[in-house]
Amino acid sequence: MPGRFLRSRAVKVSKVDGGPLESTIQQQIVQALKLTGWTVMEAFKGSARGGVVYSTPGIPDLIAVKSGRVVFLEVKRPKTGKLSPAQRTLHAELGNAGAALHVVTGVQEALAALAPSGGQR
């Protein structure tokens, strides 16, 4: 089923372990969520012109909105992806404030987290 969401373009992989890059996973998740009716905002992708971009340290990669529901998603690589100290701190603050936040490693985890009964934090 996850294959139906993927565009027919080359998947970028790590030179170290051959696994998909986090940016590739994130791109697949964004595409899948948009196809299922979610509005998705990517929190930080850098500057197209190479300039400095300011962002809150630790902010989750994706913000998904649908039917009044707002969910933060942090995308990590399977097995090797780890939260930074800034991510752990901000994620705890968001959780304490009642925000829905999930760390996901692929399309299926993202879809499961956003399902109506999706793992509430």
1 confidence band (pLDDT: 50, 70, 90): very low
pLDDT of residue 33: 98
Predicted local distance difference test score (pLDDT) of residue 56: 87
End-to-end CA distance of the chain: 26
Asked if residue 61 has pLDDT above 90, the reply is yes
The CATH number fitting domain 2-46+56-114, selected from 3.40.640.10, 3.40.1350.10, 3.40.50.1360, 3.90.230.10: 3.40.1350.10
Question: Which parts of the chain are beta strand (E)?
Answer: 39-42, 62-66, 69-75, 100-104
pTM of the predicted protein model: 0.81
Q: Which residue has the tokens 């936040």?
A: 101
Residue 30 pLDDT: 97
Asked if the model's pLDDT at residue 22 lies above 60, the reply is yes
Give me the residue spans of the domains in the chain.
2-46+56-114
- Residue 95: pLDDT over 60: yes
More confident residue, 98 or 55: 98
- The mean pLDDT value for 62-91 works out to 95
DSSP designation for 106: S
Round to whole Å and give the CA distance between 51 and 117.
41
Distance CA 25, CA 61 (A): 11
